[in-house]
Amino acid sequence: MVLTNSRDPYASSFNLSDYLQERRRQVEVALDQALPVIYPETIYEAMRYSLMAGGKRLRPILCLATCELAGGTIEMAMPTACALEMVHTMSLIHDDLPAMDNDDYRRGRLTNHKVYGDGVAILAGDALLTYAFEYIACHTRGVPAERILAVVSDLGKAVGAAGLVGGQYVDLASEGDPDISLDTLDFIHTHKTAALLGVSVTSGAILAGASDTDIEHLSRYAQRIGLAFQIVDDVLDITATAEELGKSVGKDLRAKKATYPSFWGIEESRQQAQRLVNEAKAELQNFGELRQPLEAIANYITTRTY
């Protein structure tokens, strides 16, 4: 399913860069307010060190966008948006630990455990993961409790052994094995990356009370941009500069890690990503003007350089 040039009448009026900048600003303010520093300060500071370290805030922005798309408000989705970033941050903190990927830098800064030590980094991740669920349950306003529970449940599925953590485990178990199958590589990325992106997209719509059909379309959109995002990530690890990425490049090659380019080469990988992005956009065709951010984000995935 490929979307041909649709000559969208709204396309010219939508500025993704301005949109992302404004939404990112709103998310930063909400995250900052969500996590004040109290006694014992160090654990909160460690949580904030990684949570407030910038980043694209793509997951919260997707959640806010689909809530608006389905007729809801920014306010209804903001606690869930913050929770998604808390969970994402937890996964980065734990993934960077010496017992896992053993990374010293992240987003151009020292990783959490390099600043606070391994023990505090483990606890800061645990606290962020816990706070994510608490924050949705405790702070979501103007949404029926059944929908909030559905979001808690879906977030759990996306993050636990059947989702992100399961993907991290297979990634860890495959370390140093360049001979893993394409199926295994797909498993890693559909779980480690696409599952959380998926619930980022669907949770906003669920909070707004979207129909099951709409949620299915959005779920397929999310799966496709999630995988495309990872393919592009693998390509950029080879083609981008360290300055652009804010982290080490060529790391996958040095670690003899299987990547999409190692199966398909760079050019075919780019084409596969583009095909997925086109399929993702096709899922949006029955939504109205408010689909623009999701379309533009899909386009951005294949054109980004960091």
Binding residues for its own copies, rule: CB under 8 A, are 38, 40, 42-44, 47, 90, 94, 97, 99-100, 117-123, 125-127, 129-131, 133-135, 137-138, 144-146, 148-150, 152-153, 155-157, 159-162, 165-166, 168-170, 172-173, 187
**Smallest gap, in angstroms, from Cβ of residue 165 to its own copies?**
4
**Smallest gap, in angstroms, from Cβ of residue 47 to its own copies?**
7
Nearer to its own copies, 104 or 267 (CB): 104
Phi–psi pair at 228, nearest 5 degrees:
-60, -45
**Smallest gap, in angstroms, from Cβ of residue 195 to its own copies?**
12
Nearer to its own copies, 15 or 130 (CB): 130
Contacts of 228 (CB under 8 A, 6+ apart): 272, 273, 274, 276, 277, 280, 298, 301, 302
Strand ranges (DSSP E) for 154-287? Answer: none
Nearer to its own copies, 78 or 276 (CB): 78
CB 188 within 8 A of CB 167: yes
> What gap in Å lies between CA 117 and CA 120, rounded to an integer?
6
Nearer to its own copies, 57 or 192 (CB): 192
Tracing tokens 């890690």 back to the chain, one arrives at 257
> What gap in Å lies between CA 291 and CA 283, rounded to an integer?
10
Nearer to its own copies, 29 or 161 (CB): 161
**Smallest gap, in angstroms, from Cβ of residue 172 to its own copies?**
5
The Cα angle at residue 201 between residues 199 and 203, in degrees rounded to 5: 60
**Smallest gap, in angstroms, from Cβ of residue 276 to its own copies?**
24
